[in-house]
């Protein structure tokens, strides 16, 4: 089944404790992206990747890191989480990165992160 | 940066009534426009998208949207809603020449009342 998977689905952690949220897609998609969803703010793009070893900042990259060492995986890293990073996080992927953003994005089920 | 405005945060509507969810965007250059739906506790899925051509776009589940360049709008409509349409709806924009950043609206919560 074609899908985007995220792990963990739920995570409660404490300020300053490094964490990684994994994202994997099995559709051979070039483009991958991370979003955070907050009440009243909708979805905001954190980072995106056009292909392996090619990443770029979205609208709200502060406090986050990403890497794209393999085409299928795009982990989101929080080196020193803070309470303002408590949010619902979505990973998404689309087939091609070189069509000016016209491709449909496929979203994972979300990761609910709470930072105490 | 782009901005996407969804003026209505909550829209209650009776079953079988028509509905319109409004979306306006800020760009004056060529854009691609999307509507996504999010059912409770799920990720987003595409309803429809406008890339070029006909300004009236038809999507899944009986939804359609009309692109209006002069008003920079992309309103979503359905002539007769069903209980199962209760969900959060997001309008999104990408700028066609830079392409790879996406901007989402704040969402509209549609509640269909039996």
Q: What does the DSSP assignment read for B69-88?
A: TTTTEEEEEESS--GGG-EE
Of the pLDDT bands very low, low, confident and very high (cuts 50, 70, 90), residue A74 is very high
- B47: which chain A residues are within 8 Å (Cβ-Cβ)? none
Q: How many helices (H) and strands (E) does chain B have?
A: 0, 12
φ, ψ of residue A15 to 5 degrees: the values are: -55, 130
Beta-carbon separation of A48 and B44 below 8 A = no
Contact in structure between A64 and A47 (CB atoms under 8 Å): yes
Which of B97, B104, B105 is opposite residue A100, by nearest beta carbon? B97
Of the pLDDT bands very low, low, confident and very high (cuts 50, 70, 90), residue B95 is confident
**Integer CA distances (angstroms), A58 to A22, A44, A61, B48, B93, in order:** 18, 8, 6, 23, 13
- DSSP summary character for residue A9: S
Q: Mean pLDDT of all residues in chain A? A: 93
- B95: which chain A residues are within 8 Å (Cβ-Cβ)? 100-101
Of the pLDDT bands very low, low, confident and very high (cuts 50, 70, 90), residue B81 is very high
Tens of pLDDT, residues A78-92: 999 999 999 999 999
Of the pLDDT bands very low, low, confident and very high (cuts 50, 70, 90), residue A65 is very high
- B107: which chain A residues are within 8 Å (Cβ-Cβ)? 42
- B1: which chain A residues are within 8 Å (Cβ-Cβ)? 59
Q: Which of these ranges, A4-8, A97-101, B13-17, has the smallest mean pLDDT? A: A97-101
Helix (H) or strand (E) holding B108: strand B108-113
What is the pLDDT, as a whole number, of residue B75? 97
Which of A42, A45, A100 is opposite residue B99, by nearest beta carbon? A100
What is the pLDDT, as a whole number, of residue B41? 84
Smallest CA–CA distance, residue A64 to chain B, in Å, is 17
Section B5-31 average pLDDT: 92
Of the pLDDT bands very low, low, confident and very high (cuts 50, 70, 90), residue A98 is low
Q: What percent of chain B has a predicted confidence (pLDDT) above 90?
A: 72
Smallest CA–CA distance, residue B15 to chain A, in Å, is 26
Tell whether A95 is within 8 A of chain B (Cβ). Answer: no
Residue found under tokens 């953003």: A101
Who wins on pLDDT, B79 or A97? B79
Section A5-30 average pLDDT: 96
Of the pLDDT bands very low, low, confident and very high (cuts 50, 70, 90), residue B99 is low
Tens of pLDDT, residues B33-77: 999 999 988 889 999 999 888 899 999 999 999 999 899 999 999
């Amino acid at each position: 089944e074609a899908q985007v998977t995220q792990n963990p689905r739920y995570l409660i952690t404490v300020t300053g404790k490094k964490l990684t949220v994994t994202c994997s897609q099995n559709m051979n998609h070039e483009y991958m992206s991370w979003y955070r969803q907050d009440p009243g703010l909708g979805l905001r793009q954190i980072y995106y990747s056009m292909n392996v070893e090619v990443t770029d900042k979205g609208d709200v990259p502060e406090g986050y890191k990403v890497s794209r060492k393999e085409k299928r995986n795009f982990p989101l890293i929080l080196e020193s989480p803070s309470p303002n990073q408590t949010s619902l996080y979505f990973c998404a992927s689309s087939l091609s990165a070189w069509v000016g953003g016209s491709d449909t994005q496929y979203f994972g089920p979300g990761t609910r992160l709470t930072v105490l | 940066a782009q901005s996407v405005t969804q003026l209505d945060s909550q829209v209650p509507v009776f079953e079988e009534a028509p509905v319109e969810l409004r979306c306006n965007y800020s760009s004056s250059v060529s854009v691609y426009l999307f509507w996504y739906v999010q059912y409770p506790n799920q990720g987003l899925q595409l309803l429809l998208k406008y890339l070029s051509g006909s300004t009236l776009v038809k999507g899944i589940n009986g939804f359609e949207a009309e692109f209006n360049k002069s008003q920079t709008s992309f309103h979503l409509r359905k002539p007769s809603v069903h209980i199962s349409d209760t969900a959060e709806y997001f309008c999104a924009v990408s700028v066609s020449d830079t392409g790879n950043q996406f901007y989402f609206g704040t969402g509209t919560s549609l509640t269909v009342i039996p």
